Amino acid sequence: MAVCVYRTSRVLVQGITGKEGSYHAKACKDYGTKIVAGVTPGKGGQEVDGIPVFNTVEEAVKETHPNVSLIFVPPPFAADAILEAVGSGIKTIVCITEGIPVLDMVKVKRVIEKEGVTLIGPNCPGIITPGATKIGIMPGHIFTRGSIGIMSRSGTLLYETADQITRAGLGQSTCVGIGGDPIVGTDYIFWLKQFEEDPETEAMMIVGEIGGNAEEKAAEFIKSGAIKKPVFAFIAGRTAPPGRRMGHAGAIIMGKSGTAESKYQALREAGVHVIENPGVIGETIAKVLKEKAII
């Protein structure tokens, strides 16, 4: 089992002829992901590493029946690319693009909510089920199949966490980068539900950061009793100065809201195992799970 994407997922790559698109389409294919088609307007009829390229998503869907789209389209056109995928009936979309205007995402969010589309990202590394399928830009070899589900707002921090979990002798069921922008397609709650239902996942890890209140909302949801499996969490940016955007558009402390402290407090009150030292994420998870006799 896995979460959201599977070995059988048929993936379309939008922006496949670009530098990043072509490189990562190949890397995903090499990992075992079924990349069935690519789209770049004006480049229809070409091939990238044996993958057929179409002018429109509609055409690609008709010919190759993808059910997931992976998007590498540049920021000015990325929102349109997402909506094009939605318009052609694709229900799972992974958008890697960083730098999409917020008001574009306001419209996208409105549409995906109405159409019941799962949008992962934007501004994210994608999603991986180790050993089965990789739909994104993460280095595949640092992941090991196992029982921990990871959800992260940051890319490299997702790698760091997965790596520590692997080194601690554990593995990951599915790892997802939910994105570092103020408006993203899915929140922690969506993934908490997915991991709770997934028989392979035995514990979950929230990798959060300062800004917004996604972690507080996740804490509220966990507190309501909806999640029975153990949840761990780390929040990046405790030492970040307020009012400054820390790289990610969404990572900013405004006034008193969005601080690491408020997130830690909410998570702690919800019974989440809070890991405040990012150097011991892997070993802490292993230790707690052993104590609970889960592993």
Partner 1 sequence: MKLHEYQAKEVLANYGIPVPEGRVTYFPDDAWMVSMELGLPVVLKAQVLTGGRGKAGGVKIARTSDEVREIAQELFGKKLVTKQTGPEGVVIRKLLVEKAADIERELYFSIVVDRTTSRPTVIASKRGGMSIEEVAEKYPEDIIKIPIDPVTGFLPYQIRRLKYDLGLMAQEKEAAKIFSALYKVFVEKDCSLLELNPLVVTKTGHLLAVDAKMDIDDNALFRRKEIAKMRDLTEADPDELEARFSGLNFIKLQGNIGCMVNGAGLAMTTMDIIKLAGGEPANFLDVGGEATPETIAKGFEIITRDPKVKAIFINIFGGIVRCDKVANGILQALKKVEVKIPVVIRLTGMNREEGMEILKKSGLKFYVANDLKEAAKMVSELANNGGEKSVVEAKKVETKQQNEKKEK
Residues 146-165 that bind partner 1 (CB under 8 A): 152-160, 163-164
What would the x/- binding string for partner 1 be over residues 237 to 266, using CB under 8 A? xxxxx-xx-xxxxxx---xx----------
CB of 159: closest distance to partner 1 in angstroms? 5
Output the CA–CA distances (angstroms, integers) from residue 99 to 76, 210, 238, 249, in the order listed.
8, 18, 24, 8
CB of 174: closest distance to partner 1 in angstroms? 18
Specify whether the CB–CB gap between 148 and 165 falls below 8 A. Answer: yes
Residue (104 or 200) nearer to partner 1, CB: 104
Residue (63 or 276) nearer to partner 1, CB: 276
φ, ψ of residue 24 to 5 degrees: the values are -80, -25
Number of CB atoms found within 10 A of residue 110's CB? 10
DSSP 193: H
Output the CA–CA distances (angstroms, integers) from residue 146 to 143, 155, 201, in the order listed.
9, 20, 8
Closest by Cα among 171, 180, 235 to 203: 171
CA–CA separation, 12 and 15 (whole Å): 10
Residue (42 or 241) nearer to partner 1, CB: 241
* Residue 105 makes contact with partner 1 by CB under 8 A: yes
Specify whether the CB–CB gap between 71 and 82 falls below 8 A. Answer: yes
CA–CA separation, 8 and 80 (whole Å): 27
CA–CA separation, 58 and 89 (whole Å): 9
* Residue 18 makes contact with partner 1 by CB under 8 A: no
Residue with tokens 């993934």: 191
* Residue 141 makes contact with partner 1 by CB under 8 A: yes
* Residue 15 makes contact with partner 1 by CB under 8 A: no
Residue (89 or 247) nearer to partner 1, CB: 247
Alpha helices (H) along the chain: 19-31, 57-64, 75-87, 102-115, 155-167, 188-197, 214-221, 260-269, 281-291
Residues 189-208 that bind partner 1 (CB under 8 A): 207
CA–CA separation, 165 and 103 (whole Å): 37
Residues 206-225 that bind partner 1 (CB under 8 A): 207, 209-210, 212-214, 217
* Residue 87 makes contact with partner 1 by CB under 8 A: no
Residue (153 or 273) nearer to partner 1, CB: 153
* Residue 102 makes contact with partner 1 by CB under 8 A: yes
Binding residue (CB under 8 A) for partner 1 from 75, 87, 131, 171? 75
Binding residue (CB under 8 A) for partner 1 from 1, 103, 226, 294? 103
Residue (65 or 110) nearer to partner 1, CB: 110
Compute the 3-state secondary structure of the chain and give helix, strand, coil in percent, each to the nearest 5: 40, 25, 40
CB of 154: closest distance to partner 1 in angstroms? 2
By CB under 8 A, name the binding residues for partner 1. 75-76, 99-107, 109-110, 125, 137-139, 141-142, 152-160, 163-164, 180, 182-183, 207, 209-210, 212-214, 217, 234, 236-241, 243-244, 246-251, 255-256, 276-280
